[in-house]
């Protein structure tokens, strides 16, 4: 039997707690988490990202999170709290499950960037081209 997107999403949502923007702000205030934006670059350029977030597109996550990879980003530490988000919550759920499968234990899914922005969460906006 092959895996379906539905079964992958069910497993991801069961493994990674979905948090609200308010809960994310609490975690940011007390845990100094790594916030990871897993959207594609054009999405980030268009809307900005959660203030202080690290942009790692979903396709590069495993390479950036694995200490043995030549593309490893030292911001990823297995003892660090990690909050992931995307445009709607699907990619971030899958990303969170991947991180958990890789041994990261404190992983949360913030879900949709727009929910963060609309709730008054701070946003880093991209620099306008030509500036």
CB 9 within 8 A of CB 93: yes
Q: Which of 24, 86, 95, 110 is catalytic?
A: 86
Q: In the annotation, is 66 catalytic?
A: no
Q: What residues are annotated to the active site?
A: 86
């Amino acid at each position: 039997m092959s895996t379906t997107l539905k079964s992958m999403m069910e497993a991801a949502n069961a493994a990674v707690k979905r948090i609200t923007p308010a809960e994310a702000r609490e975690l940011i205030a007390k845990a100094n988490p790594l916030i990871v934006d897993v959207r594609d670059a054009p999405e980030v350029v268009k809307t900005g990202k959660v203030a202080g977030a690290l942009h790692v597109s979903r396709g590069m996550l495993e390479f950036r999170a694995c200490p043995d990879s030549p593309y490893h980003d030292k911001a990823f530490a297995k003892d660090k709290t990690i909050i992931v988000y995307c445009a709607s919550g699907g990619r971030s759920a899958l990303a969170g499950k991947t991180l958990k499968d890789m041994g990261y234990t404190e992983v949360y899914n913030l879900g949709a960037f727009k929910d963060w922005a609309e709730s008054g969460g701070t946003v880093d906006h991209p620099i306008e081209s030509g500036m």
